[in-house]
């Protein structure tokens, strides 16, 4: 994305629109989104944002891309451009709780990411427990005999796909 496209996305995002809402409650998220429409899953890390995309019926999640994090403005511009390009109606953001369910520094960073995205976009955000998704993604890639280099290239978007698929399955059962 060139600087002109980025400025356009950011100016569109900065225009007065209702702030987005973040929730951990699937029912509240369902109520805040259209009955159908694509969702983007996000595995937020310190260095990358792994992204996945659902189909319009919210049945299947597929890997989308990995954003190498630079500055929040550039990262958000790319993410919001993808939401526009794919007509996304909501975001599912992995919440990296500790194994015992407590919140650590990564959870605080994830909540801050959600708050900052809410300021730029009216899209609702569902925070989704992502415990062990990266480990599951790593196991899947090892089982598929992927090289360490290849695993490093795709692990974040595969983790985002696992996060989103888990949320889709739960939303379908509750919807």
Exposed / middle / buried, residue 69 (Cβ in 10 Å: 0-12, 13-18, 19+): middle
What pLDDT score was predicted for residue 95? Answer: 95
Count of helices and strands (H, E) across the chain: 6, 6
This prediction has a pTM of 0.82
What pLDDT score was predicted for residue 13? Answer: 44
What pLDDT score was predicted for residue 36? Answer: 87
What pLDDT score was predicted for residue 38? Answer: 98
Task: Give the side-chain half-sphere CA count within 13 A for 16.
Answer: 0
Mean pLDDT by 10 residues, the chain (175 residues): 48 56 95 92 93 97 96 97 97 92 91 96 95 72 71 76 94 83
Residue 143: give the domain boundaries. 3-174
**Number of separate domains in the chain:** 1
What pLDDT score was predicted for residue 18? Answer: 61
What number of other Cβ atoms are within 10 A of residue 155's Cβ? 21
* 108-115, Cβ contacts within 8 angstroms, sequence gap of 24 or more: 109/44, 109/46, 110/44, 111/22, 113/44, 114/22, 115/22
Using alpha carbons only, what angle is made at residue 162 by residues 50 and 101, rounded to the nearest 5 degrees? 95
Using alpha carbons only, what angle is made at residue 7 by residues 4 and 12, rounded to the nearest 5 degrees? 130
The CATH number for 170's domain is 3.30.420.140
3-state secondary structure 2-16: CHHHHHHHHHHHHCC
């Amino acid at each position: 994305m060139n600087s002109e496209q980025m400025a356009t996305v950011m100016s569109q995002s900065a225009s007065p629109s209702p702030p987005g809402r973040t929730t951990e409650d699937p029912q509240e998220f369902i109520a805040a989104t259209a009955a159908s429409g694509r969702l983007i899953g996000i595995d937020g890390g310190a260095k990358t944002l792994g992204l996945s995309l659902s189909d319009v019926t919210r049945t299947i999640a597929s890997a989308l891309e990995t954003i190498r994090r630079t500055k929040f403005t550039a990262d958000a511009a790319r993410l919001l451009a993808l939401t526009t390009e794919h007509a996304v109606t909501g975001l599912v953001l992995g919440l990296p709780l500790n194994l015992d369910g407590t919140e650590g520094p990564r959870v605080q960073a994830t909540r801050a990411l959600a708050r900052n995205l809410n300021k730029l976009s009216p899209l609702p955000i569902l925070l989704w427990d992502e415990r062990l998704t990266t480990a599951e993604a790593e196991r899947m890639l090892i089982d598929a005999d992927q090289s360490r280099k290849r695993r490093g290239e795709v692990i974040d978007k595969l983790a985002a796909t696992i996060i989103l698929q888990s949320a889709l399955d739960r939303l379908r059962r509750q919807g």
